[in-house]
Structure 1
């Protein structure tokens, strides 16, 4: 059986993985959901110096302090950035990386690079106006469109109530190396609706994800599969490690 460390995306905490964790444990796996500094129950631990390096340290710490081996590291959305950094530091403790509706970051990248300069400026303005200059509030649902596919009103309400502002330093700091993993590390991609379209349209910077050593699994739901399809997501994760 596998050991999963599950890292949530922006605005989320370990709580988002609850149903997926339950299903993975029913399969016999060890499943450890992580809350990153400055979010959810750790919101008060965040501060002006909470950056991408902080979250990389959160991930490496749970693995190293727990003396975990043969780890499957799972990144949802934003977590691709700190997971990419942690994966390059965990050495032979790492057996597999799984990117859920996300992709690995290269050295020197930052979250703001994934959007236009105008969109990045707009985020900065929201942080200044509504986040004390250091936290990014979750956007209103009307701005998220198709990414909410599969979430009924009850789940949307949970997301709305439990989401916490994201430390903005995690978006502005660039990823420093190392980020490369060993050739023996298994690489898995779980693609949901919108990301499937990007992969299938031939976007050059994502083309490598459709070829070995990557293994791709498609999941018919929106951007938050741990909330909209947690059992199906757990089934894919179980299949990926079996």
Structure 2
């Protein structure tokens, strides 16, 4: 049995993991979804001061305060940035890092760095016009699809995203990652690539070449960027395979 700590991407809360968490539990695992400050049911805590460091603290505290050990920490999308920052703080509590359609971030980088300049400009416009200058509401799907595949999402699932998504404090996208702590040598490194990440790997991006080398292991899940919604049971099966093959 593995202990999964599931960290959602931007605009999402723990709710997004419900079906995947249920499927993991049915396989005998512990599945603990996280809601980061300012999002989901914690949206009332959103302020202009909520940034990347806030979310790093959230993830660290979630593990520490529950006394969790042998943790498989799963980072979807934006969560790759705070998870990279939190992982080095967890020491021997961390057994495995799983980046879900995402990848670790380097010191001094932020989420906006991996987006095209015109997309970043449009997001800044959304913040200025619809987010009081400090929040980023879920962008219109036409804009969202320019940097994250919506493939596999039904109209009902798109409606669920539109209804339940909460504005993201924009500092979490813009704040740069301070130097992450060192990981223990025996931490398992895993990437689960959906279509977005697989396309970047297929393109041979030099900055992602390390993901093709040990200690990294890679799994492929053929769906769009939001697999906990588009393919929740298949995602649970993939995560089960990750921990089973890593034993």
Aligned to 2:40: 40
Q: Aligned to 1:161, which of 151, 160, 163?
A: 163
> 1:40, CA displacement in angstroms?
1.0
Aligned to 2:226: 224
* Whole-Å separation in 1 of the counterparts to 2:181 and 2:79: 14
* Whole-Å separation in 2 of the counterparts to 1:57 and 1:27: 30
User: For 1:11-160, what aligned pairs fall within 5 Å after superposition?
Assistant: 11-145=11-145, 147-160=149-162
Uncovered stretches (5+) of structure 1, i.e. residues with no partner? none
> 1:137, CA displacement in angstroms?
1.1
* Whole-Å separation in 1 of the counterparts to 2:37 and 2:144: 24
Q: Aligned to 1:200, which of 193, 197, 202?
A: 202
Which one is further off, 73-82 or 150-159? 150-159
Aligned to 2:176: 174
> 1:6, CA displacement in angstroms?
0.2
* Contact in 2 for aligned 1:88/1:177 (Cα 8 Å): no
Q: CA RMSD in A?
A: 1.1
1:109-133 Cα distance to aligned partner (Å, 9 max, x none): 1111112344323322211111011
Q: TM-score when scaled to structure 2?
A: 0.95
Mark the CA change 1:105 to 1:180 in structure 2 (over 3 Å): closer, same or farther: farther
* Whole-Å separation in 1 of the counterparts to 2:196 and 2:173: 21
> 1:168, CA displacement in angstroms?
0.4
Uncovered stretches (5+) of structure 2, i.e. residues with no partner? none
1:172-194 Cα distance to aligned partner (Å, 9 max, x none): 11111224322210011011112
